[in-house]
């Protein structure tokens, strides 16, 4: 797979060209390459897509820039040293001198070698002019990972968004840029203004996070005087001179990023500027025309140019200074006890890290030397400090008094001046590029507003399980970190001074504070457990319009809160009586968590990673209810058809005491009365999403104790009928007592914002409000723009109801064996079933009549055919094409699709083994259609060189295929495929040793993850019976392992029928 | 007849607001001149566009004025230059007050700058118009002739483009002045340190220490890595509040007016503002469509 990159090409401004900067869009891809070294000029990057391929690739993805030209650039890239392969050259021609160094450029995501070198590479790409770049960059996604787009494209899209924001806020000013030297043109430029606090901070952020690939280019220069189509024949010296083999040093910095931003803002404003020239004098006309021209070049005498430059510079200087690495910083200190005057200290502060500060004295003492602020170097610190003072003076005139001496370090402010500084001047100073540090109790934000400090605890005799119950609580008013009583507030308000001192801290009172406090006190408020959960959930929550600054919970309440907000692992609950099996420690905690939310009557979503045993945890929970005699009515479980079998099998195995019934198939009850009768003594009813929708009225007629949805992503689309039906069922009004709601899913549900609403509406409808509100408040800001504050708020709200553990979590890893075997029980589709039965009947008769010598072969052939039917009817019928109904014809394939979806979503890699090469080809074709990605298939017919390429690519390519199909015989031995963390045995081999050998392709030295081994078993079929025999280690099984499939041939007729016939399950 | 400064100052005639104090001072200087009649004629002359160019070249002002003759007359204006000794006094005085350096560095002409010059017994601004030396190639024997006077009028406006021009006319350009000033400040500081001797602050900077290698040298993956989310402030892109754009902050374009085009700056700013609003609209639309 190719990965798209973007790198800025700086303008080449030569006397003959008015060179514009450009964005180089290029892509690299994985392929086998021979190491290269620079010759006279940098070597050609061996992994980049050619111009034509790139155009086609971009076209497919609708990413082709509106106008662009083929271009080449020299990019400095980290490279790995690779020795060239020895070539035996027996020709008479003397071999060209080998390069001093050979290697390959590294690609994003590739493991970093011990030693990295930096070399320039010639990279082909498409050059987009600045105006085109602004359009193109605006189209890129602002958030989320995209497998086609390198991370740095997100950086670019953020930079472009900033440029848009600057244009929208009008933060720019036209400038005149003087020629850089003899023969260079003067230019008219649109310059962004970065004086505002937020913009300065953003510049630092983007400079600190700059992916260097964005700025690592030098344009490829074609020596002058030659036509471009003849460059290949240029004299080597000319090429060398124009494109020396030199690397640009890795460095970042605000100046680079600011220059990029300038180019983008300039392009954005330039492209549509078509002003009228009416009434302008000649000089302004020239300037204005140049501001609207493509290149900005202005034909003007040096004298006029200098005049314009001085005037425009002076114009800009009034608002914004240059980008020094430090800024002047004013620190306000509160008056000492008993005194009136405040102290303002002068100093310097690093732009990149405002916590790095030095007092003015250090700047004065530095003289002409540079000053070191941590790692940041400040040139001419005295000048920087003074310039900032000059700016500060025009915003906050009071400091004039402090600047009468030659080297001022501090000054005093009257209370009135201090108030002006706190209230208004601080913001203006920051916008002028001067830092201001206020005492913490006055530094703005919510904490400096009047709010509450609450102490609460569960009442003595409470169990803490009813949301509405009142807590024992006390409260204080709190402001700026100190508490005060209403009386104290009255006294302080009476002082008529906005800055007052209380308990040693200075606080700012606002006009309405007293009124709000009085209203709160007179209302005698109560605090419920529900309030406590809400107030401690997300920040900035209000209680009767007052912010809650502090919430102290007593030990018992604290324990409930922590568990609720998942600040600590849930208290474990041991496996209940009657549960046949062992729970791993994290499963006990999962069970405890389900029980915890159940007591609060809150819906719960168990979203553990695949393979961690969600089924077992839910069964244990139901058994827990049963053991506690709380399971009085049946529970309805809805799951995709493909896993119904699995559920029944697991329930039989782990919770035999539960009465389980499937509501499925043509013979299912069709009236409420029948259904009620059928549900006598039944604890768990299994049904499919399809029937949930079709039988919705019937199902709603029953008094369910709870509703569980498995593979809950099935209800992600709020408008779909099955999701509507699930939500209706969750809150049926007929029942007097509440139904519990549980959802199970293996997908990272909390990251799929669009799917959260329907899920929460099923679990706990009030949490996210109406769908429209949800879309406006959360979905749009998060999905489109990656808004983190909305996402944090959303997670705070839904967090208590979702428990997701990953295989990779530290606490889980210690509980898990390194290899986890999972049996995937699947059924058969209608077509499969009839084909299977027919095949068995027809063939068994034939075998019974066949002469003894031929029976053996015939039995084996039958066995193969049955296994093929379990895979897919198309395989048994030797069909070669994948059509629309392909998926629906095989129950196994449907289940496989569901699991692979999760694997791909999680970014994991999987090996898939089959013993049928034809099945492999069909699967490959289907999977490539399904996931629109390449799926390699290694089988007996694969050439040796191709095998190695497939394996290398799977192991090495950072964006290599996630799925790898192998035939059991060809791929089962010898290969090292440790990048996979899932192994699928799609069909069964009779000999577990062979399967284990295949599994060990992934599970071997070098594997750093847990390996999940999925074994598909078609229930009722020969697959299940063989599996059972292997597991029960019967004598028969030993025969099986010992002698391959030979024993089958000698089975007597009835034994054979028992083994092969489809059992009705 | 008296001429008030209000109808003499081209800018105030346009109602474009407050002038920087040094421009006003210049106008007062002209206004204080005895031969009002001649000045009045000169203003009309300037307004009609007879002054075709004014340029500051080193310590002199060169101008061309189109008179009755076919070729324009050449006008030269200059002030007495301060010698190095005088500048020494001025700089020493300037270095005494941090505010003066602060304002000059921030591009602001301190209103009390003459107090620093007083230390040398000289002035930055000429006290009388007679201190402004001038020459004109016209046949008129009188000085200032009509042509010189016309240049006077336009000069004040040119001061607003770059206040440091005044320093230049007195012998130091901006860069030189700021450099010298820094030098004097350091000297003053050294003297101070000698006197007190106690206050010694270690300068933690070490000239010889090489810059630490960039983080990407240790971790080449940084070449590509970017895992930040969009800044919360950029999620919704909003327009400027009324009167809060950069152009609003910057105010008047400090470019001297060409008297023949009295509305030029207004039109220019108007064009820019209109373009700003249209671009802001477009940028917001573009931002809204992003990521969809």
A205: in domain? yes
Tokens of residue A619, six digits: 């069964």
Contacts of A934 (CB under 8 A, 6+ apart): A1, A928, A961
Contacts with B, A 363-422, CB within 8 Å: 364-372, 375, 377, 380, 382-383, 386-391, 393-394, 400, 403-408
Q: Which residue has the higher pLDDT, A614 or A1045?
A: A614
pLDDT at A1051 over 80: no
Identify the pLDDT of residue A1035: 53
The rounded distance, in Å, linking the Cα atoms of A258 and A268 is 15
Tokens of residue A42, six digits: 């940098």
Q: Which residue has the higher pLDDT, A99 or B97?
A: B97
A319: in domain? no
Whether residues A432 and A451 fall in one domain: no
pLDDT at A192 over 80: yes
Residue A980: domain span: 820-1060
Identify the pLDDT of residue A119: 86
Whether residues A262 and A394 fall in one domain: no
Q: Cα dihedral angle (A971, A977, A979, A985), rounded to 10 degrees?
A: 30
pLDDT at A879 over 90: no
Whether residues A405 and A483 fall in one domain: no
Whether residues A807 and A834 fall in one domain: no
A650: in domain? yes
DSSP string computed for B2-27:
---HHHH-HHHHTT--PPPHHHHHHH
Average pLDDT score, chain A: 84
Q: How far from A962 is each of A905, A909, A965, A998, A1041, CA to CA, in Å? A: 10, 4, 10, 18, 33
ipTM exceeding the 0.90 mark: no
Q: How far from A829 is each of A28, A89, A160, A465, CA to CA, in Å? A: 44, 63, 53, 46
B97 and chain A in contact, CB less than 8 A: yes
A151 and chain B in contact, CB less than 8 A: yes
In terms of Cα–Cα distance, which of A718, A793, A797 is closest to A755? A718
Residues A318-340, mean pLDDT to the nearest whole number: 85
Q: For testing the chain B interface, which of A157, A165, A197, A278 should be mutated: the one with the most B CBs within 10 Å?
A: A165
Q: How many CB atoms lie within 10 A of CB A608?
A: 22
Contacts of B219 (CB under 8 A, 6+ apart): A112
Residues A248-268, mean pLDDT to the nearest whole number: 82
Identify the pLDDT of residue A736: 56
pLDDT at B176 over 70: yes
A1018: in domain? yes
**Which residue intervals of A128-213 are DSSP H helices?**
130-139, 151-168, 197-208
> What crossing angle do the helices spanning B21-31 and B146-161 adopt, rounded to 10°?
170
pLDDT digit string, tens, across residues B42-57: 888 888 888 888 888 8
Which of B199, B232, B260 minimises the CB distance to A789? B232
Tokens of residue B59, six digits: 């310590």
Identify the pLDDT of residue B163: 79
A269 and chain B in contact, CB less than 8 A: yes
Whether residues A542 and A622 fall in one domain: no
Measured between its terminal Cα atoms, the distance across chain B in Å is: 72
Which regions of A68-196 does DSSP assign to beta strands (E)?
Answer: 69-81, 103-105, 117-128, 172-177, 186-192
DSSP string computed for A943-1010:
-HHHHHHHHHHHHH-TT--SEEEEEHHHHSSS---TT--EEEE-S--S-HHHHHHHHTTTSSTT--S-
Residues A452-468, mean pLDDT to the nearest whole number: 77
Asked if A532 and A468 count as a contact pair (C-beta separation under 8 A), the reply is: no
Whether residues A875 and A752 fall in one domain: no
Whether residues A522 and A600 fall in one domain: no
Instruction: Inspect the interface and report whether the beta carbons of A389 and B275 lie closer than 8 Å.
Output: no
Identify the pLDDT of residue A627: 92
User: How many domains is chain A built from?
Assistant: 5
Q: How many CB atoms lie within 10 A of CB A398?
A: 18
Asked if A188 and B262 count as a contact pair (C-beta separation under 8 A), the reply is: no
Whole-prediction pTM: 0.79
The rounded distance, in Å, linking the Cα atoms of A971 and A415 is 82
pLDDT at B6 over 60: no
Instruction: Inspect the interface and report whether the beta carbons of A168 and B239 lie closer than 8 Å.
Output: yes
Collapsing DSSP to helix, strand or coil, A700 comes out as: helix
B268 and chain A in contact, CB less than 8 A: yes
Q: Which residue has the higher pLDDT, A1005 or A284?
A: A284
Asked if A564 and A800 count as a contact pair (C-beta separation under 8 A), the reply is: yes
Identify the pLDDT of residue A1039: 52
pLDDT at A713 over 70: yes
Residues A581-586, mean pLDDT to the nearest whole number: 90
Collapsing DSSP to helix, strand or coil, A430 comes out as: helix
The rounded distance, in Å, linking the Cα atoms of A815 and A110 is 31
In terms of Cα–Cα distance, which of A251, A259, A430, A442 is closest to A351? A430
Which of B162, B182, B284 minimises the CB distance to A311? B162
A168: in domain? yes
Q: What is the DSSP letter of B236?
A: S
Identify the pLDDT of residue A59: 92
Instruction: Inspect the interface and report whether the beta carbons of A787 and B230 lie closer than 8 Å.
Output: yes
Collapsing DSSP to helix, strand or coil, A117 comes out as: strand
Whether residues A121 and A225 fall in one domain: yes
Q: How many CB atoms lie within 10 A of CB A57?
A: 17
Counting every residue written for chain B, the total comes to 292
Which regions of A183-310 does DSSP assign to beta strands (E)?
Answer: 186-192, 217-219, 297-298
Chain A: give the shortest CA distance to residue B37, in Å.
29
Which of A311, A314, A788 minimises the CB distance to B232? A788
Whether residues A829 and A849 fall in one domain: yes
Chain B: give the shortest CA distance to residue A382, in Å.
8
Range with the lowest mean pLDDT among A420-429, A442-451, B134-143? Answer: A442-451
Beta-bridge mates of residue A357: A349
Q: How many CB atoms lie within 10 A of CB A141?
A: 18
Query: In A, which residues are within 8 Å of B190 by CB distance?
Result: 367
Q: What is the CATH number of the domain that holds A749?
A: 3.40.50.10810
Whether residues A755 and A779 fall in one domain: yes
Nearest CA in chain B to A197: B233
pLDDT at B17 over 50: no
Instruction: Inspect the interface and report whether the beta carbons of B240 and A152 lie closer than 8 Å.
Output: no
Exposure letters A866-879 (e unless 16+ CB within 10 A, then b): bbbbbbbbbbbeee
Which of B251, B263, B290 minimises the CB distance to A784? B290
Chain B: give the shortest CA distance to residue A316, in Å.
7
A463 and chain B in contact, CB less than 8 A: no
Chain B: give the shortest CA distance to residue A22, in Å.
19
**Tokens 């690939």 label which residue?**
A213
Counting every residue written for chain A, the total comes to 1065
pLDDT digit string, tens, across residues A532-548: 888 887 777 788 788 88
Asked if A56 and A2 count as a contact pair (C-beta separation under 8 A), the reply is: no
Percent of chain A at pLDDT > 90 equals: 29
Whether residues A434 and A452 fall in one domain: no
Angle, CA of B148, B152 and B157, to the nearest 5°: 145
DSSP string computed for A1011-1060:
EEEEEEEETTSHHHHHHHHHHHT-HHHHHHHHHTTHHHHT--HHHHHHHH
Q: What is the CATH number of the domain that holds A1048?
A: 3.40.50.300
Identify the pLDDT of residue A451: 87
Instruction: Inspect the interface and report whether the beta carbons of B102 and A386 lie closer than 8 Å.
Output: yes
In terms of Cα–Cα distance, which of A1035, A1026, A1031, A1033 is closest to A1058? A1026
Q: Domain boundaries in chain B? A: 1-79+126-161, 83-123+174-197, 216-289
Identify the pLDDT of residue A232: 45
Tokens of residue A959, six digits: 């964006």
**Tokens 């370090």 label which residue?**
A409
Which of A161, A173, A789 minimises the CB distance to B247? A173
Q: How many CB atoms lie within 10 A of CB A140?
A: 20
pLDDT digit string, tens, across residues A195-214: 888 898 899 899 888 998 99
**Tokens 């289940």 label which residue?**
A895
Q: Which residue has the higher pLDDT, B201 or B156?
A: B156
Percent of chain A at pLDDT > 70 equals: 91
Nearest CA in chain A to B241: A169
> What crossing angle do the helices spanning B264-289 and A130-139 adopt, rounded to 10°?
30
Radius of gyration of chain A (CA): 36
Whether residues A715 and A861 fall in one domain: no
Residues A1038-1059, mean pLDDT to the nearest whole number: 62
Q: What is the DSSP letter of B214?
A: P
Under the banding of pLDDT at 50, 70 and 90, the label for residue B13 is: very low
**Tokens 């200098």 label which residue?**
A306
Instruction: Inspect the interface and report whether the beta carbons of B98 and A408 lie closer than 8 Å.
Output: yes
Instruction: Inspect the interface and report whether the beta carbons of A205 and B206 lie closer than 8 Å.
Output: no
Under the banding of pLDDT at 50, 70 and 90, the label for residue A1055 is: confident
Q: What is the 3-state secondary structure (H, E, C) of A333-362?
A: ECCCCCCCCEEEEEEEEECCCCCCEEEHHH
Range with the lowest mean pLDDT among A677-681, A1047-1051, B189-193? Answer: A1047-1051
Angle, CA of A722, A727 and A732, to the nearest 5°: 120
> What crossing angle do the helices spanning A753-763 and A788-798 adopt, rounded to 10°?
20
Range with the lowest mean pLDDT among A661-670, A783-792, B146-155? Answer: A783-792
Distance of CA A115 to the CA centre of its chain: 30
pLDDT at B99 over 60: yes
Query: In A, which residues are within 8 Å of B275 by CB distance?
Result: 269, 272-273, 275
């Amino acid at each position: 797979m190719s990965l798209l990159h973007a790198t800025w090409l700086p303008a080449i401004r030569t006397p003959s060209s008015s060179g514009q900067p450009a964005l180089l869009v290029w892509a690299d891809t994985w392929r086998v390459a021979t190491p290269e070294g620079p010759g006279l000029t940098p070597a050609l990057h061996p992994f980049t897509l050619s111009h034509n391929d790139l155009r086609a690739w971009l076209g497919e993805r609708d990413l082709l820039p509106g106008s662009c030209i083929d271009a080449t650039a020299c990019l400095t890239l980290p490279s790995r040293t690779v020795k060239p392969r020895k070539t035996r050259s027996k020709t008479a021609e003397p071999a060209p001198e080998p390069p001093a160094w050979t290697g390959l450029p590294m690609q994003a995501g590739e493991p970093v070698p011990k030693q990295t070198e930096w070399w320039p590479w010639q990279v082909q790409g498409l050059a987009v002019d600045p105006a085109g770049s602004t359009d193109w960059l605006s189209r890129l996604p602002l958030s989320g990972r995209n497998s086609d787009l390198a991370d740095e494209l997100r950086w670019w899209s953020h930079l472009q968004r900033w440029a848009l924001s600057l244009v929208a806020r009008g933060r720019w000013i036209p400038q005149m840029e003087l020629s850089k030297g003899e023969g260079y043109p003067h230019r008219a430029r649109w310059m962004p203004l970065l004086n505002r606090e937020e913009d300065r901070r953003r510049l630092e952020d983007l400079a600190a996070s700059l992916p260097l690939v964005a700025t690592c280019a030098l344009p490829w220069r074609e020596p002058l005087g030659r036509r471009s189509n003849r460059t290949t024949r240029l004299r080597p010296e000319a090429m060398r001179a124009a494109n020396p083999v030199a690397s640009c040093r890795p460095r970042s910095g605000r100046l680079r990023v600011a220059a990029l931003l300038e180019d983008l803002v300039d392009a954005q404003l330039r492209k549509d500027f078509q002003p009228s020239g009416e009434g302008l004098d000649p000089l302004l006309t020239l300037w204005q025309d140049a501001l609207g021209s493509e290149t900005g070049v202005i034909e003007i005498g040096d004298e006029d140019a200098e005049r314009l430059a001085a005037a425009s510079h002076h114009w800009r200087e009034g608002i914004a200074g240059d980008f020094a690495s430090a800024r002047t910083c004013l620190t306000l200190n509160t008056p000492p006890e008993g005194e009136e005057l405040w102290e303002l200290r002068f100093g310097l502060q690093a732009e990149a890290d405002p916590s790095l500060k030095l007092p003015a004295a250090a700047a004065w003492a530095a003289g002409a030397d540079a000053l070191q602020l941590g790692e940041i170097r400040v040139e001419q610190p005295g000048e920087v400090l003074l310039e900032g003072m000059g700016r500060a003076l025009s915003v906050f005139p009071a400091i004039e008094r402090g600047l009468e001496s030659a080297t001022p370090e501090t000054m005093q402010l009257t209370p009135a001046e201090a108030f002006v500084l706190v209230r208004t001047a601080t913001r203006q100073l920051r916008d002028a590029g001067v830092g201001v540090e206020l005492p913490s109790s006055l530094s703005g934000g919510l904490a400096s507003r009047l709010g509450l400090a609450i102490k609460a605890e569960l009442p003595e005799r409470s169990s803490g399980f009813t949301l509405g119950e009142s807590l024992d609580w006390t409260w204080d008013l709190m402001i700026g970190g100190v508490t005060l009583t209403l009386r104290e507030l009255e006294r302080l308000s009476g002082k008529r001074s906005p800055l007052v001192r209380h308990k040693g801290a200075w606080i700012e009172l606002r006009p309405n504070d007293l009124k709000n406090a009085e209203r709160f006190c007179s209302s005698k408020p109560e605090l419920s457990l529900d309030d406590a959960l809400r107030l401690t959930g997300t920040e900035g929550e209000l209680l009767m319009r007052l912010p809650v600054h502090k919430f102290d919970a007593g030990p018992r309440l604290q324990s409930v809160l922590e568990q609720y907000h998942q600040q600590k692992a849930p208290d474990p609950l041991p496996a209940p009586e009657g549960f046949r099996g062992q729970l791993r420690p994290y499963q006990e905690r999962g069970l405890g968590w389900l029980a915890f939310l159940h007591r609060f009557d809150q819906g719960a979503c168990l979203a553990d990673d695949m393979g961690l045993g969600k089924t077992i945890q839910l069964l244990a929970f139901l058994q827990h209810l049963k053991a506690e005699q709380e399971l009085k009515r049946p529970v309805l479980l809805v799951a995709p058809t493909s896993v119904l079998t699995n559920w029944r099998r697991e329930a039989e195995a782990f919770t035999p005491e539960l009465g389980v019934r499937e509501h499925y198939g043509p013979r299912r009850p069709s009236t409420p009365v029948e259904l009620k009768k059928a549900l006598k003594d039944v604890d768990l009813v299994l049904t499919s999403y399809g029937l949930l929708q079709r039988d919705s009225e019937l199902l709603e007629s029953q008094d369910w104790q709870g509703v569980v949805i498995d593979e809950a992503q099935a209800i992600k689309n709020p408008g779909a009928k099955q999701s509507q039906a699930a939500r209706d069922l969750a809150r049926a009004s007929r029942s007097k007592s509440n139904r519990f709601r549980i959802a199970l899913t293996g997908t990272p549900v909390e990251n799929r914002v669009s799917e959260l609403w329907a899920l929460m509406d099923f679990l706990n409808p009030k949490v996210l409000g109406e769908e429209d509100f949800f879309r406006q408040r959360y979905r749009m800001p998060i999905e489109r723009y990656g808004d983190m504050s909305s996402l944090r708020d959303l997670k705070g709200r839904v967090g208590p109801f979702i428990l997701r553990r990953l295989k990779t979590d530290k606490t889980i890893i210690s509980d898990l064996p390194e290899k986890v075997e999972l049996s995937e029980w699947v059924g058969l589709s209608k077509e499969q079933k009839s084909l299977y039965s027919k095949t068995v009947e027809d063939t068994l008769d034939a075998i019974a009549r066949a002469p003894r010598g031929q029976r053996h072969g015939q039995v084996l052939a039958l066995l193969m055919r049955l296994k093929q039917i379990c895979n897919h009817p198309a395989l048994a019928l030797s069909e070669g094409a994948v059509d629309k109904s392909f998926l629906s014809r095989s129950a196994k394939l449907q289940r496989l699709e569901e699991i692979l979806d999760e694997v791909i979503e999680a970014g994991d890699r999987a090996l898939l083994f089959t013993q049928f090469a034809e099945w492999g080809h069909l699967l490959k074709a289907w999977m490539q259609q399904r996931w629109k990605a390449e799926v390699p298939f290694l089988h007996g017919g694969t050439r040796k060189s191709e095998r190695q390429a497939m394996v290398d690519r799977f192991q090495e390519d950072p964006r290599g295929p996630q799925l790898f199909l192998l035939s059991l015989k060809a791929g089962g031995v010898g290969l090292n495929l440790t990048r996979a963390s899932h192994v699928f045995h799609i069909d069964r081999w009779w000999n577990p040793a062979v399967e284990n050998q295949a599994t060990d392709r992934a599970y071997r030295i070098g594997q750093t993850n847990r390996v999940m081994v999925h074994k598909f078993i078609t229930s009722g079929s020969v697959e299940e019976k063989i599996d059972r025999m292997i597991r029960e280690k019967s004598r028969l099984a030993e025969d099986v392992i010992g002698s391959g499939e030979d024993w089958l041939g000698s089975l007597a007729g009835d034994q054979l029928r028992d083994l092969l016939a489809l059992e009705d399950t | 007849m008296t001429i008030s400064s209000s109808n003499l100052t081209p800018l105030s005639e346009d109602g474009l607001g407050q002038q920087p104090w040094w421009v006003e001072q210049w106008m007062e200087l002209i206004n204080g001149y005895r031969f009002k009649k001649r000045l009045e004629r000169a203003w009309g002359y300037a307004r009609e566009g007879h002054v075709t160019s004014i340029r500051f070249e080193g310590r002199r002002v060169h101008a061309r004025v189109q008179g009755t003759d076919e070729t324009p007359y050449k006008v030269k204006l200059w002030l007495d230059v301060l010698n190095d000794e005088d500048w020494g006094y001025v700089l020493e005085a300037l270095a005494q007050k941090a505010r003066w350096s602060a304002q000059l560095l921030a591009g602001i002409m301190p209103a009390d700058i003459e107090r620093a010059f007083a230390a040398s017994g000289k002035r930055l601004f000429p006290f009388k118009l007679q201190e402004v030396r001038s020459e004109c190639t016209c046949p008129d024997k009188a000085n200032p002739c009509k042509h010189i006077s016309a240049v006077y009028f336009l000069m004040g406006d040119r001061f607003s483009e770059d206040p440091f021009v005044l320093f230049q006319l007195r012998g130091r350009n901006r860069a030189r002045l700021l450099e010298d000033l820094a030098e004097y400040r350091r000297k003053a500081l050294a003297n101070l340190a000698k006197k007190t001797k106690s206050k010694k602050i270690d300068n933690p900077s070490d000239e010889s220490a090489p810059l630490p290698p960039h983080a990407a040298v240790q971790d080449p993956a940084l070449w590509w890595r970017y895992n930040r989310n969009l800044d919360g402030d950029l999620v919704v892109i909003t327009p400027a509040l009324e009167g809060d754009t950069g152009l609003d902050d910057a105010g008047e374009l400090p470019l001297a007016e060409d008297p023949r085009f009295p509305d030029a700056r207004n039109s220019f700013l108007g064009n820019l503002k209109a373009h700003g609003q249209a671009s802001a609209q477009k940028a917001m639309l573009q931002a809204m469509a992003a990521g969809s």
